[in-house]
């Protein structure tokens, strides 16, 4: 009887999960999934009691990855959320997205899809163009922060008996012999032989994977670093946009520096939250299926590509986040009017404002001590443009939280099946720099998982 092929999946976020789903119940393979955080049941139990600040072990790590307690948006367009369109032909991408979306729905994602009214979306595009903005129309399926863990638990329970999940056991090293992957070493001091390894480290593991890629001599292309603020406004300001598109994906090029500024992760009737990774506190947003606040929040991010010899955008983003933590003890909150007037915000000024913060733990302060002038200038210009698109966005009462940083690993050179320059070593998901969202991360895992299954069965 032929030996079953051994597969190691590093990370149990959406990319790792969909790789495992592709391999589930395949008789020719035995799969071990290694996840540095806890399994879904333990993660939910601890998340419920973690308090407002949160524990990074439960918030970003564990079954479901950073997506488990995210806003839960499935962006159904290859132009948004990653690089898969550079590896596959358009018809292949479209077919893959349909399939992945269908899998999410089968496991419990809602049927409703935003952005399907073509006339209304065209109207938003025209309105944006009049304010010097590009509106990127896309269809979106929204799960909600409260529904994400439920769907992910269904995925966990559907795995076949050939998949073993090893929670709270991080992979520390990838083993390679003669240009072919041979196994992994873990934090438990174990060595595991593997014929195939799928690396799906997630945002929390992006820095580790970058170090491993350098050690293994993998060629790579730097991704931009996205740094900015989270904007909080009354929900009524954007209600016609969010009811049509749910999330307005808007792109602006600053007049002063010609930097690309984009809206990201809009959370209608949501709340601003903190994230913590390796002791660095950043800001994010959530919205729920079962409850509402009176505010809408979204990120406003400036994308910057650095030139040689600099090759560590993750370190740069962490540096800015640490600076905010040093000055504010965590996340800083500032009224837009105070920022424009060159003064720090105080608790009293915020309390008498028209927008009451949903992140009560944020420290009133001054973001100009944290963000470089180039970033602040581009953000302020973008807010002026957004005020033309949705009057009230640029109000002096608008709240800005900082900093928000999106850590994306340098992207290794990959084939169309997402295989690296090391034979049988695949890299997928956000932490590998391939994707930037739930749907594309899931799709990337499916690509790699199916390729491993094809090879194992041939």
More confident position, 56 or 255: 255
| pLDDT for position 200 | 97
Give the span between the Cα atoms of 302 and 80, in whole angstroms: 16
**Which of 350, 348, 368 has the alpha carbon at shortest distance from 359?**
350
Whether residue 50 is predicted with pLDDT greater than 60 in this model: the reply is no
204-235 pLDDT, tens digit per residue, is 888 899 899 999 999 887 667 789 999 999 99
For the segment 64-76, the average pLDDT, to the nearest whole number, is: 86
Question: Does 243 lie in the same domain as 296?
Answer: yes
Question: Does 105 lie in the same domain as 72?
Answer: yes
72-105 pLDDT, tens digit per residue, is 899 998 878 788 988 999 899 999 999 999 999 9
Angle, CA 252 vertex, CA 248 and CA 254 arms, to 5° = 155
DSSP annotation of 223: P
| pLDDT for position 47 | 58
Give the span between the Cα atoms of 429 and 439, in whole angstroms: 10
Phi-psi label, residue 269: left if phi above 0, alpha if psi -120 to 50, beta otherwise: left
Whether residue 112 is predicted with pLDDT greater than 90 in this model: the reply is yes
Give the span between the Cα atoms of 252 and 111, in whole angstroms: 32
Give the span between the Cα atoms of 429 and 110, in whole angstroms: 23
| pLDDT for position 289 | 84
Residue 48 forms part of a structural domain: yes
Question: Does 421 lie in the same domain as 400?
Answer: no
Give the span between the Cα atoms of 125 and 130, in whole angstroms: 9
pLDDT band at 48 (very low <50, low <70, confident <90, very high): low
pLDDT band at 51 (very low <50, low <70, confident <90, very high): very low
Question: Does 323 lie in the same domain as 279?
Answer: yes
| pLDDT for position 440 | 94
Relative to beta strand 250-253, strand 260-267 is antiparallel
Residue 287 forms part of a structural domain: yes
Residue 364 forms part of a structural domain: yes
For the segment 346-372, the average pLDDT, to the nearest whole number, is: 96
More confident position, 270 or 58: 270
Q: Global pTM? A: 0.89
Question: Does 400 lie in the same domain as 431?
Answer: no
pLDDT band at 409 (very low <50, low <70, confident <90, very high): low
Cβ proximity of 44 and 97 under 8 Å: no
Question: Does 422 lie in the same domain as 354?
Answer: no
Cis peptide before 403 (omega within 30 of 0): yes
Question: Does 269 lie in the same domain as 256?
Answer: yes
Give the span between the Cα atoms of 427 and 430, in whole angstroms: 10
Give the span between the Cα atoms of 197 and 427, in whole angstroms: 9
Burial 401-430 (b: 16+ CB within 10 A, else e): bbbbbbbbbbbbebeeebbbbbebbbbbbb
Whether residue 53 is predicted with pLDDT greater than 80 in this model: the reply is no
Q: Where do runs of H (alpha helix) occur along 331-437?
A: 336-341, 347-351, 373-389
Question: Does 401 lie in the same domain as 270?
Answer: yes
| pLDDT for position 206 | 86
Phi-psi label, residue 418: left if phi above 0, alpha if psi -120 to 50, beta otherwise: left
Q: Of 370, 387, 406, which residue constitutes the final position of a domain? A: 406
pLDDT band at 134 (very low <50, low <70, confident <90, very high): very high
Q: The domain containing residue 318 runs over which residues?
A: 225-406
Residue 265 forms part of a structural domain: yes
User: What share of the chain has pLDDT > 90, as a percent?
Assistant: 74
The sign of the dihedral angle between the CA atoms of 79, 80, 85, 90 is negative
From the CB of residue 172, how many other CB atoms can be counted at a distance below 10 Å?
A: 15
Helix (H, G, I), strand (E, B) or coil at 432: helix
Whether residue 55 is predicted with pLDDT greater than 60 in this model: the reply is no
Phi-psi label, residue 65: left if phi above 0, alpha if psi -120 to 50, beta otherwise: left
Residue 115 forms part of a structural domain: no
Relative to beta strand 399-406, strand 332-335 is antiparallel
Choose the weakest-confidence range: 174-188, 277-291, 320-334: 277-291
| pLDDT for position 408 | 66
Whether residue 3 is predicted with pLDDT greater than 90 in this model: the reply is no
Residue 352 forms part of a structural domain: yes
What lies within 8 Å, CB to CB, of 86 at 6+ separation is none
Structural domain count of the chain: 2
Give every strand in the sheet of 29-35, ordered side by side. Answer: 163-167, 29-35, 5-10, 196-199, 425-427
Question: Does 399 lie in the same domain as 416?
Answer: no
For the segment 262-288, the average pLDDT, to the nearest whole number, is: 91
pLDDT band at 57 (very low <50, low <70, confident <90, very high): low
| pLDDT for position 415 | 96
Whether residue 49 is predicted with pLDDT greater than 60 in this model: the reply is no
| pLDDT for position 52 | 40
Extended beta strands in 160-214, E state: 163-167, 171-177, 180-186, 191-193, 196-199
CATH of the domain at 429: 3.50.50.60
State the chain's mean pLDDT as an integer: 91
Whether residue 181 is predicted with pLDDT greater than 60 in this model: the reply is yes
| pLDDT for position 316 | 86
| pLDDT for position 357 | 98
Residue 126 forms part of a structural domain: no
For the segment 359-363, the average pLDDT, to the nearest whole number, is: 96
| pLDDT for position 349 | 96
Question: Does 432 lie in the same domain as 295?
Answer: no
Cβ proximity of 375 and 319 under 8 Å: no
CA dihedral 200→206→212→213, nearest 10 degrees, is 80
pLDDT band at 266 (very low <50, low <70, confident <90, very high): very high
| pLDDT for position 303 | 87
Residue 281 forms part of a structural domain: yes
Helix (H, G, I), strand (E, B) or coil at 139: coil
For the segment 261-283, the average pLDDT, to the nearest whole number, is: 92
Give the span between the Cα atoms of 239 and 340, in whole angstroms: 26
Question: Does 384 lie in the same domain as 433?
Answer: no
Give the span between the Cα atoms of 181 and 246, in whole angstroms: 43
For the segment 349-375, the average pLDDT, to the nearest whole number, is: 96
Give the span between the Cα atoms of 389 and 202, in whole angstroms: 34
């Amino acid at each position: 009887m032929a030996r079953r092929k051994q597969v190691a999946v590093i990370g149990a976020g959406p990319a790792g999960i969909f790789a495992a789903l592709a391999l589930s119940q395949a008789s020719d393979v035995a799969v071990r999934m290694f996840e540095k955080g806890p399994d879904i049941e333990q993660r939910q139990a601890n998340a419920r009691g973690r308090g407002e600040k949160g524990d990074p072990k439960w918030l970003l790590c564990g079954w479901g990855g950073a997506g488990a307690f995210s806003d839960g948006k499935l962006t159904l367009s290859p132009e948004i959320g990653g690089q898969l369109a550079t590896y596959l032909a358009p018809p292949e991408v479209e077919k893959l997205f349909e399939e992945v979306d269908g899998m999410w729905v089968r496991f419990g994602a809602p049927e409703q899809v935003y952005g399907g009214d073509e006339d209304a979306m065209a109207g938003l595009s025209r309105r944006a163009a009049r304010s010097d903005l590009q509106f990127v129309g896309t269809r979106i399926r929204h799960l909600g922060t409260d529904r994400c863990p439920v769907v992910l638990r269904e995925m966990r329970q559907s795995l076949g008996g050939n998949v073993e999940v090893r929670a709270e056991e991080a992979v520390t090293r990838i083993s390679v012999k003669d240009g072919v992957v041979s196994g992994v070493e873990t934090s438990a001091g174990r060595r595991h032989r593997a014929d195939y390894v799928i690396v799906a480290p997630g945002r929390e593991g992006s820095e580790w994977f970058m170090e491993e890629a350098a050690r293994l001599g993998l060629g790579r292309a730097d991704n931009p670093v996205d740094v900015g603020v989270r904007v909080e406004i009354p929900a009524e300001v954007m209600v016609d946009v969010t009811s049509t598109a749910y999330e307005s994906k808007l792109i602006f090029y600053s007049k002063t520096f010609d930097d690309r500024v984009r809206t990201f992760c809009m959370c209608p009737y949501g709340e601003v939250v903190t994230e913590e990774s390796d002791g660095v506190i950043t800001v994010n947003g959530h919205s729920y299926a079962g409850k509402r606040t009176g505010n809408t929040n979204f990120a406003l991010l400036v994308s910057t590509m650095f030139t040689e010899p600099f090759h560590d955008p993750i370190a740069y983003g962490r540096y800015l986040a640490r600076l905010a933590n040093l000055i504010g003890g965590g996340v800083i909150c500032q009224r837009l009017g105070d920022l424009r007037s060159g003064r720090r915000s105080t608790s009293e000024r915020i309390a008498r404002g028209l927008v009451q913060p949903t992140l009560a733990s944020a420290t009133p302060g001054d973001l100009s001590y944290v963000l470089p002038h180039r970033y602040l200038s581009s953000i302020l210009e973008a807010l002026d443009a957004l005020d033309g698109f949705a009057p009230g966005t640029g109000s002096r009462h608008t709240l800005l939280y900082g900093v928000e940083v999106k850590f994306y690993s340098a992207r290794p050179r990959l084939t169309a099946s997402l295989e690296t320059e090391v034979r049988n070593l695949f890299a997928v998901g956000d932490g590998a720099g391939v994707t930037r969202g739930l749907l594309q991360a899931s799709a990337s895992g499916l690509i790699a998982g199916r390729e491993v299954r094809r090879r194992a069965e041939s």
